[in-house]
């Protein structure tokens, strides 16, 4: 009797056609997979971070050597335009080669001296890390979690989104050309596999996704006191003050509201514009938004691909319809469109009574609300359970003063939120626990230990 392994089929968001398939991991097999990872971690964790960096570094070049093929797979599976897919793949390969040394340096032992003693501060491996990653950046996000975990000496069990399993598997396959067996393993599936992985004998769970799922992971992890790094929902505000460079503000608002079809954790999802400049800003944003045409991700010059799945498109459409029903005005976009297509949409006259200003949208929508005084803008920006990113455009030093009063982890003034080299990626309030990137973020994947001796 032949036993057929069930498969997870990945479908194109643009055409609905299958792109490929991977075997589904039976939840009952996950404890054995984790046990294999724990055994493999012993030798992997015994070498230095710099040695691990040397082993992993060639994987970055291997990604770049195959970037065209990987980009086509990524765009076919996730739906983003091919140019964006190529950008993600290229960035992943280049960052891998750059960051392995940065991570190795961050987790290297340090010495502290004083009062007749010497303390060695060690950043040791935790053991096995479960990495549960989303579909919006389906190659970069696995690297965000797997790379620092691996260089820190952990073994990793990766569960990518069931929407984008193929590109995540391709990424892991490249790393596994260089890694010892079982140091990096992939499990495929949906909720059942995620629950089994969280319940297994892992030491840390790194997750990016919805607040609701993050709460379930945190509750499940509590029983075993497992560590968690959770990047959760967001509803990032943009404040535009009188005296701001409106061309720059509108260009930023368009790019940050619509890129990747609005499916970015730090997309601009709420725009607050001072009343005296609201009309001029809205006109400039509408003009900038015309460049974000929805179409085939493989078409020449395509800027806005489809949403990754029908359910996500329907959620965005419901929010738009609800806002319009409550009095918001469509400046651009909206309407019913075939398949998973969702055009760049601008709404004005929104209020905080509307769901689109409260619940995460994760779609290409720019809702605009006016305010009269900067204090009101701060109050509106902070009227949310989330606090991942925020941006303020306006004259200095007023813009910096407003930014300092926003309750978010990352704030940009007259620019985006991305910080200088070494800055962590960090949220506040319900946008997450723990953080990524920079030396402090890399050390989240370590057990800190001190060993003290007499000087």
Catalytic residue IDs? 231, 265
Token pair in block for residue 294: 């929805």
Phi/psi region, residue 297 (left: phi>0; alpha: psi -120 to 50; beta: rest), is: alpha
- C-alpha 86/C-alpha 91 separation (Å) is 8
- C-alpha 350/C-alpha 356 separation (Å) is 8
**Could you tell me the sign of the dihedral formed by the alpha carbons of 338, 341, 346, 352, in that order?**
positive
Dihedral Cα 42, 44, 50, 54, nearest 10 deg: 170
């Amino acid at each position: 009797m032949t036993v057929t392994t069930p498969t997870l089929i990945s479908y194109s968001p643009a055409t609905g056609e299958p792109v490929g398939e991977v075997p589904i991991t039976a939840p009952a097999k996950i404890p054995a997979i984790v046990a294999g990872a724990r055994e493999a971690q012993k030798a992997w964790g015994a070498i230095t971070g710099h040695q691990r960096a040397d082993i992993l570094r060639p994987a970055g070049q291997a990604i770049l050597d195959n970037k065209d093929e990987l980009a086509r797979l990524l765009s076919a599976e996730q739906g983003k335009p091919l140019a964006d897919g190529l950008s993600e793949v290229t960035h992943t390969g280049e960052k891998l080669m750059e960051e392995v040394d940065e991570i190795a340096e961050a987790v290297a032992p340090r010495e502290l001296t004083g009062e007749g003693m010497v303390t060695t501060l060690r950043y040791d491996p935790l053991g096995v890390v479960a990495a549960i990653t989303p579909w919006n950046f389906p190659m970069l996000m696995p690297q965000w979690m797997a790379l620092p975990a691996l260089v820190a000496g952990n073994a990793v069990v990766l569960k990518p989104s069931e929407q984008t399993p193929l590109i995540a598997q391709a990424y892991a396959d490249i790393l596994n050309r260089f890694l010892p067996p079982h140091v990096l393993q992939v499990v495929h599936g949906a909720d059942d596999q995620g629950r089994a992985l969280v319940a297994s004998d892992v030491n840390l769970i790194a997750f990016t996704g919805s607040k609701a799922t993050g709460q379930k992971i945190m509750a499940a992890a509590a029983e075993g006191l497992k560590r968690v790094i959770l990047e959760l929902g967001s509803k990032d505000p943009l404040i535009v003050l009188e005296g701001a460079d409106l061309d720059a503000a509108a260009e930023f608002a368009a790019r940050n509201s619509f890129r990747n079809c609005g499916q970015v954790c730090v997309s601009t999802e709420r725009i607050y514009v001072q009343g005296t400049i609201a009309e001029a800003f809205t006109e400039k944003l509408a003009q900038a938004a015309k460049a974000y045409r929805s179409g085939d991700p493989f078409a020449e010059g395509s800027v806005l691909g489809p949403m990754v799945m029908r359910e996500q498109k329907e959620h965005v459409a419901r929010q738009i319809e609800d806002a319009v029903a409550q009095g918001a005005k469509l400046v651009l976009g909206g309407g019913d469109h075939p398949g998973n297509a969702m055009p760049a949409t601008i709404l004005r006259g929104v209020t905080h009574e509307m769901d689109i200003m409260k619940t995460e949208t994760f779609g290409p929508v720019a809702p605009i609300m006016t305010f009269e005084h900067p204090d009101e803008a701060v109050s509106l920006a902070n009227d949310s359970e989330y606090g991942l990113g925020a941006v303020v455009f306006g004259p200095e030093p007023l813009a910096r003063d407003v930014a300092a009063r926003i309750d978010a982890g990352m704030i940009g003034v007259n620019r985006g939120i991305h910080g200088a080299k070494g800055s962590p990626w960090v949220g506040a309030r319900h946008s997450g626990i723990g953080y990524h990137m920079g030396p402090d973020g890399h050390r989240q994947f370590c057990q800190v230990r001190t060993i003290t001796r007499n000087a």
